[in-house]
Structure 1
């Protein structure tokens, strides 16, 4: 229901982006619900599907009231239920957890970009719902011991301050690098954990993709994830820290696609953007001078990979354009 004030360009943009993401999640859930062989997992997936469908209807209502066209997003044509399982061992809830991790950041950002009260309330509710689903996923995975937790650490007994610029040292050839601090470890651990999952996701997508160019793109993504895992794990090992690993969410031997190439490409693009954001935050909070450079190098690789994916999507007619601003020069002509 309209609030008397037209939505801004920022609000239109965030609603459009949310619609794209939520229609993708809806399609993914439709496949996961049918494939689920654990009743507890199925309940989480079905409840999430019902709520997401309701939020999509609210977005449609806002756009309709504003006279805006409803985006295409992802439809029933982008999902193939009942096909052989492409992933096993709790992949469904691990996938949902990662999607909700991305959503939590997006909804908070979109809330800060909103001005109209009904849209602010919408994102508040969506953020709260997303957090509750994330909590359920974490509880489920921890109960089954498939979620690698961050390394343990001895609790500090006193406050310490850096006594010299040597604390920032990362490239000094004549002295050892200091041990990583907990802030740095947390970002490295998170990057490794998400890329371990991403490597399996890209493996499954590569096996199932229909277009040769898309298949090749997913193989490249798998290799990029392996490189990030290897390089960041080495940084942890240098400080005698065990890198995270999990036995769950492996790709099966199936070569039958549960999703369209379009959906899998968009999903990969979403994860690339998430990786870029995480790397940017990790760079900002890492105080050892070699770490920001390592993170920036990986960010460059992720950015290039994401741009290549955008070109493939555009070439195949899969890249739905966001609403544009008026082209005044074109109107004048």
Structure 2
């Protein structure tokens, strides 16, 4: 038996399932954006993305079939309404794709480490390269349009310093003021604020168009949570005289007709929750000022509560597709005994 003929491990099956769900969702969303977007450069990016992403979906579907596994439902034409008006302006649609490609880059890199078969590892390497290419392309597009604030510049150090007292960890100086943020701390805080500004606008649109009342309320809660996180971390940046990222670009329209199913929007929100929790964990690890991990852990709890309630809501509405299940050995044994 060659390595490619070996059966999929549970982790390989799990990651392929997760990626299939995500990629079918992205095809539906970007296809809707392409129909309505008026900017030639953005349309070119979307056309290229859909071509590659659709090819990947077919490739994943073929793997499931070859392995004798059921192909997930994922997201289909039933999850998009092409006759609905635009929900976001042209600029935000590119901002959205950039955010999702940042998430995809991280997910695929993680999935490589969870794979054993060479063909599956090669697949994730290809996915990672693809996501990174579109992250770069969308970033350059937004920079060229002058709508993507860069993280702040810093005077480059001329020599290396070592922390001499525990005050560096506490962040407090003898004067009672906190020490300025270091470059690593600024980087993670800045990215958190940037991500939540985009998330706030996404949730605003979802809240306007969701069909079920409790799901609309959930998205409104998500918008308020993003605003709260943005305010908390922006204030920390401002304490060190650092301007928080801000842009007037990326607008939500007045449409109340949903282009997407509640299922698709809830799943998209779940993905963003997972990304936010992962980013908070990394930020906590690399923040050396003790007050920062405490704030990040408080934020993580709020996100976890929000994510948990979202999972319950998806189940209540029958919107959650179950991942492949491990065998219930206890139940099998009972059946055999019977």
The residue number in structure 1 matching 2:152 is 151
Counterparts of 2:98 and 2:52 in 1: how far apart (Å)? 16
Counterparts of 1:2 and 1:255 in 2: how far apart (Å)? 51
Q: CA deviation at 1:170?
A: 3.9
The residue number in structure 2 matching 1:77 is 78
After superposition, the C-alpha distances for 1:77-100 in whole angstroms (9 at most, x for unaligned) are 001113211111401111000010
Counterparts of 2:187 and 2:239 in 1: how far apart (Å)? 15
TM-align CA RMSD: 1.4
> Does the CA-based 8 Å contact 2:172-2:179 persist in structure 1?
no
After superposition, the C-alpha distances for 1:240-288 in whole angstroms (9 at most, x for unaligned) are 1101001211211111111011100000110000000000000000000
The residue number in structure 2 matching 1:296 is 297
The residue number in structure 2 matching 1:224 is 225
Partner of 2:319, secondary structure, is: coil
Misfit runs of 4+, over 6 Å: 171-174
Counterparts of 1:59 and 1:197 in 2: how far apart (Å)? 29
Unpaired segments ≥5 residues, structure 2: none
The residue number in structure 2 matching 1:184 is 185
TM-score of the aligned structures, taking structure 1 as reference length: 0.98
TM-score of the aligned structures, taking structure 2 as reference length: 0.96
Counterparts of 2:90 and 2:47 in 1: how far apart (Å)? 18
The number of residue pairs the alignment matches comes to 333
> Does the CA-based 8 Å contact 2:21-2:75 persist in structure 1?
yes
Kindly report which structure 2 residues correspond to 1:17-96, keeping only aligned pairs within 5 A, or say none: 17-96=18-97
The residue number in structure 1 matching 2:313 is 312
Unpaired segments ≥5 residues, structure 1: none
Counterparts of 1:201 and 1:107 in 2: how far apart (Å)? 23
> Does the CA-based 8 Å contact 2:91-2:249 persist in structure 1?
yes
> Does the CA-based 8 Å contact 2:37-2:90 persist in structure 1?
no
> Does the CA-based 8 Å contact 1:170-1:291 persist in structure 2?
no
Partner of 2:256, secondary structure, is: coil
Q: CA deviation at 1:152?
A: 1.3
Partner of 2:5, secondary structure, is: coil
